[in-house]
Structure 1
Amino acid sequence: MKYFLMNSKPQSNFNLQTQHYTSRCKDDSSSTSSNAGDPVECGSLPGLWPTGNRVNFRFHPDTEAIMNRQFATEMKAFYYYLSMAGYFGRVDVALPGCESFFKQMHHEEHGHALRFFDYIKMRGGLVNLCSIEAPMNQDWKCPLNAFKVALELELEVAEKLVETNNIAEKYKDLNASDFIVTGFMEDQMKSVNDIGRLVTVLSGVGDQALGRFMFDKDLLDHYVMPEFNILKKKK
C-alpha cells in the first residue's frame, strides 16, 4: 500500500479570528492572537499555566471594566438591603414586613450581581472584586427613611445600567447590549416604580404607630414572596 503526501492546503470557507484582551486592573501584558488553520504541535511539552490567552469575541476592555463596575453597584445595593433587613428585624424595632421585604431585595440584588459575574467570565473577561461600600449610618430610624434610600439605590442602579449599555453600544457589542436591555432594564423600571409608590404611601401615613403597623402588614401580605416571609419561616 502506498501513501501520498498532498502539498496543497484545503481552502477554508471562513476565517475565525479570536482576540485576547488583558485586564487593565493588573499588569498590562501584551495581547496575543491566533488564526484557525495555524499548525498545531502535537505531543509538545505543556505550556505555562494560566495561559493568559482569554478567548473572546469583541469584548472590549472598556466594556469589561464597566461591567465590573456594574457588578460592584449591584453588590452595594445588596449590602444596603441586608443592613436594612437587619435593622427592621431587631427585637426593639420588630417590623417583620420591612425585614422580609428588604431580605427579599437583598437576595434579588445578589442574584443580579452574580449574573454580571457569570457574564464577564462567559465573555472571556476578568472579574475584579472591589470593596463594598457600607452605609455610613445604619440606623434606618423609620420605614420612610429606609424606603427613600432604597429608591435612591434603585435609581443609581438604573443609571449605571444605562451607562453600561452606552459603552456596549459604543463598541457595537450586540450581545452585551442585549444582556443589559433584555435582562435587566424592564425589571429595574418596575423596581423603581414599586418603591416609588411605597415612598408615596409612607409619606401620606407618616410614622404614627397604627399607620406603621398597617403599612408593615400590607407589605408582608402583598409585596413579599412566601419564601422570604420571616413569620412563615418561624412556624
Structure 2
Amino acid sequence: MISDRMQTAFNDQINAELYSSYLYLSMAAYFESISLSGFANWMKAQAREEHFHAMKMYDYLGERGGRILLQPIQGPETEWASPLAVFAGVAAHEAHVTGLINNMVSLARAENDYASESFLRWFVDEQVEEEQAADEIVQKLKLLEGFPGGLFMLDRELAQRVFVEPAAPA
C-alpha cells in the first residue's frame, strides 16, 4: 500500500505530465499556424510521450493500491515570439519537471518507499534525455539565427520524429 503523501505526489505528477502534454500540443498548434509542420510534428510526438508518462504513473499508482484523483489541467501558453522562444520554453519546462521528479524521489526515500523509488528511476533517466533533446534544438536554433533557410532544414529534420511507446521490461 502506498502512503498518503506518495499518493498525493503521484496524483500531482500525473497532473503535471498531462499539463506537459497539453503544453506541447499547444506548441504544435503554434508551429502549424506559422507553417512549420516538422516542428509541429516534433511537438505532437512530445505530447504523446508526456501522455504516456502520465499513464505510466496512473497505472503504477493503481497497482500500489492508491487512489487516482485527477485534477484540472491548467491552460497552456498559446503564443511565442519565435521557434527559439518555444524551445527555450521547452528546455525550462523540462528542467522544472526534472525538479518535480527529483522531489518525488526524495519523498520516496523519506517514506522508505523503495518500490516507488525504483519506479521513479526510469523517470530520472528519462529526464536526462528530455533536457538534452530540448537543449540540442535550442543550440541548433541559436546557430541558425540570421539564416532563415536553415530553419526549413531543421523543420525537415524534426518532421522525422516518431514517438514509439517503450516496451515493458522483460
Matched AA of 1:102: M
CA–CA distance in structure 1, aligned partners of residues 135 and 30 of structure 2: 21
Matched AA of 2:88: K
Identity %: 27
- Structure exhibiting the larger radius of gyration computed from Cα positions: 1
* Correspondent of 2:9 among 55, 58, 66: 66
Provide the aligned C-alpha RMSD in A: 1.6
Structure 1 segment 79-228 matched on structure 2, within 5 A? 79-90=22-33, 93-135=34-76, 137-181=77-121, 183-206=122-145, 208-221=147-160, 224-225=161-162
Runs of 4+ in structure 1 off by over 6 angstroms are: none
SS at match of 1:225: coil
Q: Which TM-score applies when normalising by structure 1?
A: 0.66
Q: Which TM-score applies when normalising by structure 2?
A: 0.90
What's the CA shift for 1:160?
Answer: 0.4
CA–CA distance in structure 2, aligned partners of residues 126 and 218 of structure 1: 42
CA–CA distance in structure 1, aligned partners of residues 31 and 136 of structure 2: 20
Change (3 A) 1:226 1:79: closer
Aligned pairs, number: 164
Unaligned residue ranges in structure 1 (runs of 5+): 1-55, 228-235
CA–CA distance in structure 2, aligned partners of residues 75 and 110 of structure 1: 6
CA–CA distance in structure 2, aligned partners of residues 80 and 184 of structure 1: 19
Deviation per residue, 1:41-84 (Å, 9 max, x gap)? xxxxxxxxxxxxxxx2xx11111111111111111111100001
Matched AA of 1:161: I
Unaligned residue ranges in structure 2 (runs of 5+): 165-170
